[in-house]
Amino acid sequence: MLTYYFRLGLRSLRRNMVLTGLMIAAIAVGIGACMTALTVFRAMSGDPIPQKSHQLYAPQIDNWGPDKHNGGSPDRLEPQLSYTDVLGLMKARAAKRQSGMYASLQSLRPADPKQKPTKVFVRAAFTDFFPMFDVPFKYGGPWSASDDEARAAVVVLTRDMNDKLFGGANSVGKTIRLDNEPYTVSGVLDDWRLLPRFYDLAIRPFGDGDAIFMPFTRAIDRHMGNTGSTQCNGDLDAGWEGRLKSDCIWLQFWVELPTETDVQAYRAFLNNYAAEQQNLGRFHWPPHTQLRDVMQWLQYRNIVPSEVRILILVSFGFLLVCLMNAMGLMLAKIMGRAGDIGVRRALGASRRAIFAQCLIETGVVGLAGGLLGLLLTALGLWAARSLLTKEFAALAHLDWADTGIAVLLAVGATVLAGLYPTWRAAHVQPAWQLKAQ
């Protein structure tokens, strides 16, 4: 029976090609616009580390005092920490794993002296960084905790960096020259891409980033300046030592807290830490701290730009218009066939049968619209890639989930829009139609 309805549906679609074409085109255009925006939005608002996002937390401490947060910080907290506080939290080791970190732009001298040096992003972090973020290694592994202590000249390379410097060979134990100093490679990462790079959102969160990792202690020792944002408020002394002693905020800090108990304990610890700073006379205000997991952090930092939200809004409005359009056309089409339906009803077809037949017909329209819409989505994403900056463009790719969403959305929305016309069809009075004939 279903295949018969399906054939009937196809036949009826062929009967009025213009109306059918308009309907399919309307749905396709709506789905195309919607999916283009949705794909970018999904890529931007996705979970960068789904297996662990509920165990990773970014602590915040108010080290400026309640009156000094100029603009843009309604909760009187800042997204980064001072060196003093990072040192304090690292020393306390109150979480299962923890790492302070920052990025520095360094010049990398190639082995061949004739080649010009290049600039690379170096991330200074502690050894916990790697197991905490589930960073995959291809060769070797992270440096040790004693390397952190010893301020050792060791580095971990990303796979791309290793390809560039060593042609993809196992480079563990080899030496690279960063800013004219030798560093021993302790490990090479496998492919590792976080979208967005949640741990430091100040530097191109969706773009290319850290290429080399080195011990935080070493970077501080070498006075490696911060490339991300540095915000200072209040007195500070000159020079690198002045920066370290100051309440300037320029460091990121993440902790791993596997259970809810750990989270509660860490919250208490943060408050105790701030209270202790108050007792020491460093803070002149009661403790004000916060702990957010990865998704809360992305929400807090408002990572999806307003452009994308506007596009989502506009494109869903557009889809709505397209669907209402299709609904009007369907109504016209089905009511135009009231006579046929009357005859079928008079010959014994039940309301349910008419309903099923029309619903399948709408489903076919939705399917066709969805497939065409998918094509338009690909076209839209291609346009988005050429229109937007590299950072956005990297996100404009269709995956299987997007494809599934597009087809489901098209069929679902079309069938929903077709419910009323279908219902009307099922209520055609056979007697009236036959009489008019």
Partner 1 sequence: MEFGPIISAMRRNKVGAILIAVQMAITLAILCNALFIIEQRVALSKRPSGADEANVFIMDNQWVGNPPDVSARLQGDLAALRSLPGVQDAFATNSFPMSGGGSTEGIRLHPDQKDATALTALYFGDEHAIAGFGLKLVAGRNFNPGDVVDKLGYTDLKGPTGIIITRILADKLFPGGNAVGQSIYGAAPTGQTPIIGIVDRLQVPWISAGGWGSKFNDSSIIEPFNFISVYPYHYIVHTQPGQMSSVLQAAPKKLFDISRARVIGKTQTMSAARADAYKDDKGLVVILAVVCASLLAVTAFGIVGLTSYWVAQRRRQIGIRRALGATRNAIIQYFQTENLLIAGAGAAIGVALALSLNLWMVNAFAMQRLNTSYALIGAIVVLLLGQAAVLWPALKAASIPPALATRAA
Alpha-helix runs per DSSP H in 337-350: 338-346
Question: Per this entry, what is the length of the chain?
Answer: 437
In DSSP notation, 45-76 reads HS-SSTTTTTTEEEEEE--S-TT---SS-TTS
To partner 1, the closest distance from the beta carbon of 363 in angstroms equals 20
- From residue 164, alpha-carbon distances to 168, 169, 173 in Å are 7, 10, 17
Residue closer to partner 1, measured from CB, 96 or 245? 245
Q: Tell me the C-alpha distance between 13 and 129, whole Å.
A: 60
Q: Which is nearer to partner 1, 187 or 421 (CB)?
A: 421
Q: Residue 110: is it exposed, middle or buried by C-beta count within 10 angstroms (0-12/13-18/19+)? A: middle
Does residue 112 bind partner 1 (CB under 8 A)? no
Please tell me the distance from the alpha carbon of residue 30 to that of residue 37, in angstroms, as a whole number.
11
User: Is residue 145 a contact residue for partner 1 (CB under 8 A)?
Assistant: no
Q: At 270, phi and psi to the nearest 5?
A: -60, -45
CB of 437 to partner 1, least distance (A): 8
In the region spanning residues 243 to 262, those forming contacts with partner 1, defined by CB under 8 A, are: 243
Using rule CB under 8 A, residue 420 touches partner 1? yes
> In the complex, what is the shortest distance from the CB of residue 364 to partner 1, in angstroms, rounded to a whole number?
18
The CA distance from 40 to 338, in Å, is 43
Least distance between partner 1 and beta carbon 320 (Å): 6
When asked if residue 395 is in the footprint of partner 1 (CB under 8 A), the reply is no
Report DSSP state, residue 100: E
Minimum Å gap between C-beta 355 and partner 1 is 17
Nearer to partner 1, 90 or 232 (CB): 232
Q: Which of 77, 92, 105, 312 binds partner 1 (CB under 8 A)?
A: 105
Is 118 a residue that touches partner 1 (CB under 8 A)?
Answer: yes
Distances (CA, A) of 26 to 10, 21, 137: 18, 8, 49
Q: Which residues contact 183 (CB under 8 A, 6 or more apart)?
A: 153, 154, 155, 175, 176, 177, 214
**Near partner 1 by CB under 8 A, which window of 75-83, 131-139, 186-194, 319-327?**
319-327
Contacting partner 1 within 2-31 (CB under 8 A): 18-19, 22, 25-26, 29-30
Closer residue to partner 1, CB minimum distance, 267 or 301:
301
Choosing from 111, 145, 169, 310, the residue that interacts with partner 1 (CB under 8 A) is 310
**Sites of contact with partner 1 (CB under 8 A):** 18-19, 22, 25-26, 29-30, 33, 67, 70-72, 105, 107, 109, 116-119, 179-180, 225, 227, 230, 232, 234-240, 242-243, 305-307, 309-311, 313-315, 317-318, 320-322, 324-325, 327-329, 331-333, 335-336, 383-384, 387-389, 392, 420, 436
